[in-house]
Amino acid sequence: MTIDKQHYVLCSHCDLVIELSNIAVGHKAVCPRCNTTLAKNNSNMKFNAAMYAACSLIMIIVGCGFLFIDIRIVGNFIGISLLDIPKTLFFDKYRYISALFILFVLLFPILNLLIIILLCSKLPLTKYRKRDLLIVYEKFQHWCMPEIFLTGILVSFVKLMSYGSIGVTSTFWAFCLFVFFYIKSLVIFSPETIWSEIHRNNFAQGILQAGKTGICQNLKLCSCCEAILPKHYIKCPRCKQKSKIRERDKIQWTIALLVTSLILYIPANLFGIMITVVFGSPSSSTIMDGVIYMWQAGDVPVALVIFIASVAIPILKIISLSWLCYFALAVKRKNNHNCLKMKKLYTAVEFIGKWSMIDIFVVSVICSLVRNQQMMGVYPDIGVTFFATVVIITMIASQKFDPRLIWDLPQNKKID
Ligand SMILES: [Zn+2]
Ligand SMILES: [Zn+2]
């Protein structure tokens, strides 16, 4: 079985027009210029995506209902359910972190799974309803982090071992399955298939030439549904969203957000992220204190994970995005080799950006679990708020950056 007849796509990363035909089942088409995945042909896409999404939803219902992890501190048993984590943060007056937890770990992934089920089911949805669901899906996708929370739990186990002995329940394994099924359904689900059901991507048919860039042919890509549109279209006829031939003004947004995150990165590292109270005497620890403590305790891999995710990634991300902005705007002599290197850098920045949330989730788990009032308690500290804001702002900064500017040659820059 093969997908579709011949059709054209415009690469969202390098702006090249490519003619696609006959993608075999289980295969994908990649851009010959920048290696971006352009289309994939998963057999039984709708059935498989909906099945995995449904299994994932069942697992999260089980995962939210019962005790999740427990700890024994000097004979005292403390157990928490998944929902106890945001509840504890809420009552500790860290409502912002509590809200982020609910949105990124539970609400957005669950909403996206429901959308996949609705779009892949045989329900008689109108094309307007399908369009609205797909727009919501695309908006939330960047902000779903259940896999990062799961990694955060595993990292927190190493820290928690110094407080007492940890136990996991079958609910914890249900949560692991939720994450596994969630990732499977996302990998299989193809929004392009649903968009083509709403309307075929043929708005620029007849004026397209494969092997040339879109900007040379006065064509633009809809940033929402990836339809190829003639430049003069203000709104996309398929998704009704506005898009420009280039998002150059957004570079100013990227730079402004990077400066903001650099300023916030200072208090995020200077202030403590956790307060440990032992027999009534509190002591605050910063991110680096945690890394040093783990290193000295002999947990070198965990110390490295926290150092890379919480200290190195945010600062590397700020440097990389600044370099990308400079390359896009100021470098005149571009060739395929250095453009490809910058494209790989951008892909890496986009991928690793949200992994810095690990430390926020580690703090959330530890603070919810270590609450033995008589002996010791662990509470979040103000640094965690600054740090979460740095991660969110750098994520928005990388989303604002238009990667096609990497490939634009100076003569094309006049066209706008
Ligand atoms: Zn490309
Ligand atoms: Zn569109």
For residue 237, which ligand has an atom nearest its CA?
A: 2
Q: How many angstroms separate the alpha carbon of residue 213 from the centre of ligand 2?
A: 19
pLDDT in tens, 125-168: 898 999 999 999 999 999 999 999 999 999 888 888 877 888 88
Q: How many angstroms separate the alpha carbon of residue 236 from the centre of ligand 2?
A: 5
Q: How far is CA 33 from CA 37, 216, 225, 271, in A?
A: 11, 16, 22, 45
Inter-residue long-range contacts of 94-99, CB under 8 Å, 24+ positions, other chains counted = 94/380, 94/384, 94/385, 96/385, 96/388, 97/360, 97/364, 97/380, 97/384, 97/385, 97/388
For residue 240, which ligand has an atom nearest its CA?
A: 2
Q: How many angstroms separate the alpha carbon of residue 406 from the centre of ligand 1?
A: 11
Q: Measuring CA to CA, which residue among 3, 117, 99 is closest to residue 56?
A: 117
Which stretch of DSSP H or E encloses residue 229? strand 228-230
Q: How many angstroms separate the alpha carbon of residue 321 from the centre of ligand 2?
A: 27
Split at pLDDT 50, 70, 90, the class of 75 is confident
Q: What share of the chain is helix, strand, coil (3-state, %, to 5)?
A: 55, 15, 30
CA angle 57, 60, 61 (to 5 degrees): 85
CA 76 vs. chain centroid, Å, equals: 38
Crossing angle of helices 287-296 and 250-270, in 10° steps, is 60
For residue 228, which ligand has an atom nearest its CA?
A: 2
Residue 412 has pLDDT above 60, yes or no: no
For residue 221, which ligand has an atom nearest its CA?
A: 2
Q: How many angstroms separate the alpha carbon of residue 199 from the centre of ligand 2?
A: 10
Task: Read off the tokens for 326.
Answer: 């400079």
Neighbouring-strand partners of residue 168: 69
pLDDT at residue number 416:
36
Q: How many angstroms separate the alpha carbon of residue 104 from the centre of ligand 2?
A: 26
Residue 4 has pLDDT above 50, yes or no: no
Neighbouring-strand partners of residue 311: none
Q: How many angstroms separate the alpha carbon of residue 163 from the centre of ligand 1?
A: 50
pLDDT in tens, 193-240: 899 999 888 888 777 888 889 988 999 999 899 999 998 898 999 999
Burial track 353-362 (b if 16+ CB lie within 10 A, e otherwise): bbbbbbbbbb
For residue 37, which ligand has an atom nearest its CA?
A: 1
Q: How many angstroms separate the alpha carbon of residue 131 from the centre of ligand 2?
A: 9
Q: Measuring CA to CA, which residue among 47, 15, 144, 30 is closest to residue 413?
A: 15
Q: How many angstroms separate the alpha carbon of residue 218 from the centre of ligand 2?
A: 16
What domains lie within the chain, and their CATH numbers?
Answer: 1-43+200-237 (no CATH), 44-198 (no CATH), 244-408 (1.20.140)
Q: How many angstroms separate the alpha carbon of residue 109 from the centre of ligand 2?
A: 23
For residue 226, which ligand has an atom nearest its CA?
A: 2
The distance in angstroms from the start CA to the end CA of the chain is: 41
Q: How many angstroms separate the alpha carbon of residue 14 from the centre of ligand 1?
A: 4
Split at pLDDT 50, 70, 90, the class of 1 is very low
- Is the Cβ–Cβ distance between 354 and 145 less than 8 Å? yes
Q: How many angstroms separate the alpha carbon of residue 184 from the centre of ligand 2?
A: 26
pTM over 0.85: yes
Of residues 108 and 161, more confidence is placed in 108
pLDDT in tens, 8-61: 899 999 999 998 887 888 888 899 999 898 888 877 899 999 999 999 999 999
Q: What values do phi and psi take at 100, rounded to 5?
A: -60, -40
Q: How many angstroms separate the alpha carbon of residue 136 from the centre of ligand 1?
A: 25
Neighbouring-strand partners of residue 40: 28
Q: How many angstroms separate the alpha carbon of residue 358 from the centre of ligand 2?
A: 34
